[in-house]
Amino acid sequence: MAIVSRQLMALFSTSSLAVMGVNAQDMASVEQVAQGYNTQIAQARTLTKSYASALQNTLKPALKSSGPAGALKACNVSVPSITKAVNNQSKWQVSRTSLKPRSQANMPSDWEKSVLLHFESQKQQGVNPKALEASAIIERGNKRYLRYMKAIPTAQKPCLTCHGTNIKPQLLQQIRLLYPQDKAIGFNAGDLRGAFSLTLPFLE
């Protein structure tokens, strides 16, 4: 579950687009992103914002009414359906990914992994994690996709309850039951938890 603050969106600007290319061909395409895809990237940012709020609106009340164990179940059940609902709103497909995912469904692709590693190194160089985003045109098979990613930093509260270094044993047990291959623990406040990852297929 991710919570993204409102100020965050204000930090976005086209010039802050960090662009990732895995090879020279991607880098060439990337120029096009900066020059011609501002409208689509603006849509991606808006959609990321509403996806983040939808997740937040599930997590927060569940934590309040039924504590971490209830919120864990709420995330487990509701995140896939929230994602589906957001995906039905536009041609963009939204998802979340991480170098250390909880859900196997959130394993990064090669491109996503390279962007996540890029975000980590940017952060180490002192870039504010809230400002980290990337876009590129990716070719897969015969199809082309506009891709957009936006970093998700780890907040002290409530993230560390379920992703931190000191998770309550009973909760950890429940996490392991639901996600036997969970890697999303051991985070500290300020770490990059992962990223939103959006895909827009080109009609060709």
Q: Does 161 bind ligand HEC (CB under 6 A)?
A: yes
Select from 58, 98, 135, 199 the one that contacts ligand HEC (CB under 6 A).
98
Select from 96, 123, 147, 150 the one that contacts ligand HEC (CB under 6 A).
96
Q: Which residue has the tokens 């998770």?
A: 167
Which amino acid is it at 16?
S
Q: Among residues 73 and 144, whose Cβ is nearest to ligand HEC?
A: 73
Residue 18 neighbours by CB under 8 Å, 6+ apart: 118, 122, 132, 133, 134
Q: Where are any strands of DSSP class E within 5-77? A: 18-19
Helix (H, G, I), strand (E, B) or coil at 13: coil
Instruction: Answer yes or no: are the C-beta atoms of 103 and 179 closer than 8 Å.
Output: yes
Q: Does 87 bind ligand HEC (CB under 6 A)?
A: no
- What residues form DSSP beta bridges with 197? 95, 149
The angle subtended at Cα 52 by Cα 176 and Cα 106, nearest 5°, is 40
- Residues 23-62, one symbol each (x = binds ligand HEC by CB under 6 A, - = not), give ----------------------------------------
Least spacing, CB of residue 123 vs ligand HEC, in Å: 14
Select from 53, 106, 109, 114 the one that contacts ligand HEC (CB under 6 A).
106
- Chain residues binding ligand HEC by CB under 6 A are 1-3, 68, 71-72, 75-76, 79-80, 96, 98, 101-103, 106, 152, 154-155, 158-159, 161-163, 184, 193-194
